Amino acid sequence: MSHLSALLRRIGAAGLVAALAQPCSAAAHTLDLHLPDAPPLTLADDHGRHGIVGDITLKAATLAGYDLHLITLPWSRAQQTVRAGKDQLIIPLSRTPDREANYTWIAPVMTMDRAFFSLDKRVDGFEQARRTFTRIAVGRGSAQEQKLREEGFSDSQIYPVKIGENPAQLLLLGRVDAWFNGIPETRTIWPQVSNKPLLMSPGLMRTDLYLACSKVCDAQMAQRLAEAVRQLREDGTVAKVLTSYLPDHEGSAVAQ
């Protein structure tokens, strides 16, 4: 467990209120927040709505006394920018073993399941998927791309899709025969593309989606944001935001 998590447990609720009430010299600072356009998790600009993780992060920043400057880059480049930078925030980042040492993990916001989606073949696991699918769309630089590689899928089977491309459209046109993606994302995107039924595997990958920061990250800022997210979780705000985007979210997305 991180030193930050242990510290927050020791602080407790009273410490949370006191810390957030304290004036912060950086309160007027604007922090860079990197996020992809990945509904319903994050939205670059949708009339004031910024997705589940986006809305919660903005609320937490306001509570902690910070303004945010939203930046949308290709997901791989956003991760590189944050890793190499200082005090750069990023959402929604899956906390995986290969990423663990490269970021400051401020707070988990929600948990998400991933699954295989196809128009004509339903699989029950990674082994069956390796045998069944020839070309699988997956977000470039995503945790699910890394998972496919860890599970032994070949380069020829993995079709990384950059931000801006529509994997649902690729599936509909037959350019890929499966899509490995977050369940709430796919359930949001697919109805905008087609009314054809989509076959889904069981959830095969679950990770926490974090508000994270550069490895070199101001400790006071990280602590204040972590405490703000915890307060939003405890007062029910996180669950309310999740439900506002996903009224029926059981099995695909879970409030932390």
Alpha helix ranges (H) inside 138-255: 143-150, 167-172, 183-189, 219-234, 237-245
Q: Give the DSSP per-residue string, 83-145.
A: HHSBS-EEEEEE--TTTGGGEEEEEEEEEEEEEEEESS---SSHHHHHHH-S-EEEETT-HHH
User: What is the identity of the amino acid at 199?
Assistant: L
What pLDDT does 248 receive?
A: 73
What pLDDT does 15 receive?
A: 45
What pLDDT does 247 receive?
A: 84
Domains and CATH numbers, the chain: 3-112+207-255 (3.40.190.10), 113-205 (3.40.190.10)
What pLDDT does 11 receive?
A: 43
Q: Which two tokens stand for residue 142?
A: 């995503």
What pLDDT does 12 receive?
A: 47
What pLDDT does 28 receive?
A: 53
Q: Give the DSSP per-residue string, 37-79.
A: -BTTTB-S-BTTB-HHHHHHHHHHHHHHT-EEEEE---HHHHH
CB-CB contact of 225 with 106 (8 Å): yes
Q: Walk along the chain (256 residues) in steps of 10 and give the mean pLDDT of each run.
A: 45 45 55 94 85 97 96 94 98 96 97 97 98 96 96 97 82 96 93 94 97 98 98 97 83 60
